Structure 1
Amino acid sequence: MTDVRNVLRRPCTGPAVWKGPDLIDSGEWVLRLSPAQIDELEAALRAVRERSVPLLKVTAGDFPLPTLAGELARIADVLENGRGFVLVKRIPVERYSQAAASTIFWGVGRHLGMPVSQNASGHMLGHARDTGRSLADPGTRGYQTRARLPFHTDGSDVLGLLCLRAARSGARTAVVSSAAVHNAVLARRPDLVDRLYRTHFLDRREEQAPDELPYTAVPLVSWSRGRGSMRYNRCYLESAQRFPDVPRLDPADVELFDLVDALAASSEFRLDVDFEVGDLLFVNNHTVLHSRTEYEDFTEPDLKRHLLRLWLALRQGGGGVSPRDVIATQSSACLGGFRHHR
């Protein structure tokens, strides 16, 4: 019988394993929209408006992109089978109303996958902006604050962000390969690797239904059909400790979290992303961790930082992920994950 622990101790390989410095000068992860492609987006927007299709009912067929659809198919493949993130530059959002920008964002997202609910309220298109709330409030989530958000994953297959307005300063975005972080833990602290695969408890931040537990129990790394997925959010791991029936964190758990945080944030592994107004960032949460620095905002309401936010279930992974499943489990479908060396 195969020793599962030996299998898990193999390093991951493939395109999902990368280091930031190796990608800095590469344009492979950036799609710069041409004027003709922007014209296609605007023509698709007009088509939706002429037919009066409600936003949440817009499909890829309702949002025709004769040539850009091919690029988006390539992006979907990169998200699922490649490095796991893509930056699209630059949609001229200053031309559009918020409603128009939302339709364009939604239409592009529908070419990549199926939007799923982002919270217990069933919001399908979210808004990332400072609401004045604090992460000390267990009912608050990071995108509702201007606080620093260390490297973490969201609960969907793919996170999509469209920047409508930038902060006055800060809000620096970065991404890192979770497979590369996994390999570094294996190389530097093999005694901690097994803890990646143990059950951990994540606070659901008051997003549970009345009959559900207020936390989920999942491993940080899991495998299915030969693909791996890392789900990590230290804030939620630590805030779950407020529940008396959640097991206490061991000192070794804290060591593991410290190591993951240090590796992800190090210049050896992370890639800083110039995420500017009009840019679209798509991140596969199974293979990529993302972060944002604290920011200072403008005082004028119409100048404050504002991102549109989508959670997507990948098309190509086979099967589907229901909105309730995404919120309820915050776990891995292992779509578009990394692989072990064989």
Structure 2
Amino acid sequence: MTGTTIGGIGWTSEYLESAPDVWSLSMTDEDRRLLWTDSLAQRWDEGEAAYAAVRSSVRRSLDAVGFARVRNLISPDASDADLITSLSFILDEVGRAVPQNAQGDLWTILRDRDGDGATELGFHCDTCDLLVLLCLQPAADGGGNTKLASARHVHDIIERERPDLLAMLEEEWTFDRTGRAGRQILVTPILFTQDDGTIGCYYQTRTVRASANLDARQLEALDYLDEVLYRPEIAFGLRLIAGDLLMIRNSRVLHGRSPYVDVPGPEARRILRAWMNER
């Protein structure tokens, strides 16, 4: 199955589990060391071959399935400042960081805030081209896993089962994002065909439900979309371990997070996050 075919028909969780080479690359400890040394120095030398492998794999995976994972990319034991310096240089040809909140932060550390990790984060898209996550410490209880869903596969299921609701999801919806980064009022279809023929998506269930007075048919369309997203063949669970990089193309892949119960101290879950727009 080629990258073009995957992008054209969407993917299932079963397919991703059977073909990790399509979306994942594992770095050796030596290549990680070379990448780290060169990226901190802000020039490519002995780590250039490893960098070329990462760059090629990320681009190929983003084009094929809309997300890319690189295992063992960076040691999570470094300072936050050095991690940001290194990752920014490694990803410079892929995209540039943009503000991800009203405070204008380009990089943030995701961690449990007053027990909010225990609440599942539903499927959604962010208002940037690429979501970048670097796992510094996974949740000790095994939760907090990223969940992914192919917009194309979701589209095809709804088209087959409820074409009347798909037609509604392809209409314009209002997302009121007042006080957040980027555009404050976003009017867009939830599912749509992009210029390259792939199926695109934009969705934030709580935001759209709170942004307008929705009638019964619109609520039915949103409820059906949410139900499809959580079907086992759709929702692909991905557990990141320390040092793993995950990049998600928001226009083609919806993402969420499973709940977790955090623990204090060094075992607490920590994820370094950036929003990027592609170059």
Q: TM-score, normalised by structure 2?
A: 0.87
Task: Indicate if the aligned counterparts of 1:151 and 1:289 stay in contact, CA closer than 8 A.
Answer: yes
Task: State the percentage of identical aligned residues.
Answer: 25
SS of 1:15 mapped into structure 2: helix
2:52 counterpart of 1:70: yes
Query: 2:196, 2:103 → 1: CA distance?
Result: 34
**Alignment partner, residue 153 of structure 1:** 125
Write out per-residue CA displacement over residues 111-148 of structure 1, whole angstroms, 9 at most, x where no aligned residue. 321222212222111221223386xxxxxxxxxx5521
Per-residue deviation, 1:185: 0.6
Write out per-residue CA displacement over residues 161-191 of structure 1, whole angstroms, 9 at most, x where no aligned residue. 0011222322122211111000111001011
**Alignment partner, residue 288 of structure 1:** 253
**Alignment partner, residue 189 of structure 2:** 219
Which residue of 26, 38, 42 corresponds with 2:36? 42
The one-letter amino acid paired with 1:41 is L
SS of 1:276 mapped into structure 2: coil
The one-letter amino acid paired with 1:19 is T
Query: 1:215, 1:165 → 2: CA distance?
Result: 35
Query: 1:79, 1:116 → 2: CA distance?
Result: 22
Per-residue deviation, 1:192: 0.8
The one-letter amino acid paired with 1:307 is I
The one-letter amino acid paired with 2:238 is V
Q: Which runs of 5+ in 1 are unaligned?
A: 1-12, 49-61, 135-144, 241-245, 316-342
Task: Indicate if the aligned counterparts of 2:58 and 2:68 stay in contact, CA closer than 8 A.
Answer: no
SS of 1:235 mapped into structure 2: helix
**Alignment partner, residue 243 of structure 2:** 278
Q: Which runs of 5+ in 2 are unaligned?
A: none
Q: Relative to structure 1, is the Cα distance of residues 130 and 267 closer, same or farther in structure 2, using a 3 angstrom cutoff? A: same
Per-residue deviation, 1:94: 4.2
**Alignment partner, residue 172 of structure 1:** 145
Per-residue deviation, 1:91: 3.4
Which residue of 201, 213, 219 corresponds with 1:230? 201
Q: TM-score, normalised by structure 1?
A: 0.72
The one-letter amino acid paired with 2:53 is E
SS of 1:229 mapped into structure 2: strand
Per-residue deviation, 1:258: 1.9
Per-residue deviation, 1:72: 3.1
Q: Paired residues, what number? A: 270
**Alignment partner, residue 24 of structure 1:** 17
2:154 counterpart of 1:181: yes
SS of 2:18 mapped into structure 1: coil
SS of 1:290 mapped into structure 2: strand
Per-residue deviation, 1:281: 0.7
Query: 1:252, 1:223 → 2: CA distance?
Result: 22
Which residue of 84, 89, 109 corresponds with 1:127? 109
Query: 1:164, 1:186 → 2: CA distance?
Result: 40
Q: Relative to structure 1, is the Cα distance of residues 303 and 80 closer, same or farther in structure 2, using a 3 angstrom cutoff? A: closer
The one-letter amino acid paired with 2:60 is V
Query: 2:17, 2:38 → 1: CA distance?
Result: 33
Give the RMSD, CA atoms, in angstroms.
2.4
Q: Pairwise mapping of residues 1-342 of structure 1 onto structure 2 (< 5 A)? A: 14-16=5-7, 17-28=10-21, 29-48=23-42, 62=43, 65-91=47-73, 93-132=75-114, 146-169=118-141, 170-207=143-180, 215-227=185-197, 228-240=199-211, 246=212, 248-300=213-265, 302-315=266-279
Task: Indicate if the aligned counterparts of 2:25 and 2:54 stay in contact, CA closer than 8 A.
Answer: no
Q: Relative to structure 1, is the Cα distance of residues 108 and 252 closer, same or farther in structure 2, using a 3 angstrom cutoff? A: farther
Query: 1:235, 1:279 → 2: CA distance?
Result: 29
Per-residue deviation, 1:108: 2.4
Greater Cα shift, 66-75 or 261-270: 66-75
Query: 1:260, 1:39 → 2: CA distance?
Result: 44
Task: Indicate if the aligned counterparts of 2:29 and 2:72 stay in contact, CA closer than 8 A.
Answer: no
Query: 2:249, 2:133 → 1: CA distance?
Result: 12
